[in-house]
C-alpha cells in the first residue's frame, strides 16, 4: 500500500519533472555512479489453532527482521556491482499439541545471522527519464547462523544449539523510484535461492551431529517485503 501511494504521488509530478528535470529529481544510473543505502525486512506473524499434520499449533508468535547496508559502483549504464552486509534475527515462541499422544510442548526458538553478499544489480527504466525502474539483484551469499531451540514437554526441558555456515546464490527482484535529487526508495522480495549449508548441532543428552545440506528455494516470500533507501552519487 505504501509503495502504491508513493508511485501515484510521484506519477502526478511527471510532467513537471520532464519540464524541469533538475529541480525535482536528478536520475543517476550512468557508468561511474556510486550507490549507498540500507534495506529493512520485517515479518510479524501470530498463529492459532493451525493443523500442521504432525502437530496442532495452539498459539505461535514470530518476529523476523533483517537489516542490510549496501555499497555499489556502476561499471556500465544501469549495471552496478557492490557489496552488502546483512544482519538478521528470528524469534519464535509457541505451544504445540502432538498429534500422536496429545502432549503439550512449549517451544522457544532464537536465531541470529550475519552475511556478506557481493552482488550485481540491474536497472530497467520504465519511463524516459529513468525515474521508475524495475530492478533485479543477483548475489552470492556467505553467511554464519547461530540458533538455540528450547523444548519443554511434561516439565522436561531439552535444548538444541546449532552453528551453521551457509553458501548460496540469491535473486531479489523489485521496483525502485527516485523521490528527490539523488535519493530513491525500493521495494524487493526474496524470489529464489540455491543454498549449501554445513551445520554442527548439539542436543541435550545426545551426541553432537554434523549436517550437510543443499537446497533450492523457489518460493516468493511476499510476507517479508524488503524496503530500501538509496543515494546515487
| Per-residue pLDDT tens digits of the chain, which is 233 residues long | 444 444 444 444 444 333 334 445 667 788 999 999 999 988 888 887 777 666 777 788 999 999 999 999 999 999 999 999 999 999 999 888 887 777 788 899 999 999 999 999 999 999 888 889 999 999 999 999 999 999 998 888 999 999 999 999 999 999 999 998 889 999 998 887 899 999 999 998 888 899 999 988 777 666 678 899 999 98
Q: H or E stretch including 97?
A: strand 79-98
pLDDT recorded at residue 59: 81
pLDDT recorded at residue 26: 61
pLDDT recorded at residue 222: 64
31 neighbors 76 (Cβ within 8 angstroms): yes
- What CA–CA distance (Å, rounded) separates 142 from 78? 25
- pTM for the model stands at 0.78
pLDDT recorded at residue 111: 96
CB-based contacts of 87, cutoff 8 Å, min separation 6: 66, 67, 68, 112, 113, 114
76 neighbors 120 (Cβ within 8 angstroms): no
- Domains in the chain, CATH or no CATH each: 2-232 (2.40.160)
Strand, coil or helix: 161: strand
CA 93 to chain CA centroid, Å, is 21
Counting other chains too, the contacts that 186-189 makes at CB distance below 8 Å and 24 or more residues apart are 186/39, 186/135, 186/227, 186/228, 186/230, 187/3, 187/225, 187/226, 187/227, 187/228, 188/39, 188/135, 188/137, 188/225, 188/226, 188/228, 189/220, 189/221, 189/222, 189/224, 189/225, 189/226
Amino acid at each position: 500500500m505504501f509503495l502504491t501511494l508513493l508511485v501515484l504521488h510521484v506519477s502526478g509530478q511527471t510532467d513537471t519533472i520532464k519540464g524541469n528535470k533538475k529541480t525535482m529529481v536528478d536520475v543517476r544510473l550512468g557508468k561511474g555512479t556510486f550507490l549507498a543505502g540500507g534495506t529493512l525486512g520485517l515479518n510479524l506473524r501470530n498463529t492459532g489453532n493451525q493443523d500442521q499434520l504432525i502437530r496442532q499449533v495452539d498459539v505461535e508468535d514470530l518476529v523476523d527482521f533483517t537489516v542490510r547496508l549496501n555499497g555499489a559502483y556502476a561499471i556500465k549504464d544501469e549495471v552496478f556491482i557492490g557489496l552488502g552486509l546483512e544482519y538478521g534475527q528470528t524469534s519464535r515462541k509457541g505451544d504445540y499439541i502432538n498429534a500422536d499422544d496429545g502432549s503439550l510442548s512449549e517451544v522457544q526458538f532464537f536465531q541470529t545471522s550475519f552475511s556478506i553478499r557481493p552482488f550485481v544489480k540491474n536497472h530497467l527504466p520504465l519511463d524516459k527519464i529513468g525515474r521508475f525502474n524495475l530492478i533485479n539483484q543477483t548475489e552470492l551469499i556467505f553467511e554464519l547462523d547461530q540458533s538455540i531451540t528450547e523444548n519443554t514437554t511434561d516439565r522436561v526441558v531439552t535444548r538444541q544449539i546449532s552453528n551453521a555456515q551457509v553458501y548460496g546464490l540469491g535473486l531479489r527482484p523489485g521496483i525502485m523510484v527516485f523521490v528527490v535529487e539523488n535519493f530513491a526508495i525500493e521495494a524487493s522480495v526474496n524470489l529464489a535461492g540455491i543454498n549449501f549449508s554445513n551445520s554442527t548441532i548439539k542436543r541435550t543428552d545426545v551426541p553432537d551431529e554434523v549436517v550437510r545440506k543443499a537446497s533450492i528455494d523457489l518460493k516468493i516470500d511476499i510476507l517479508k517485503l524488503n524496503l530500501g533507501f538509496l543515494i546515487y552519487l
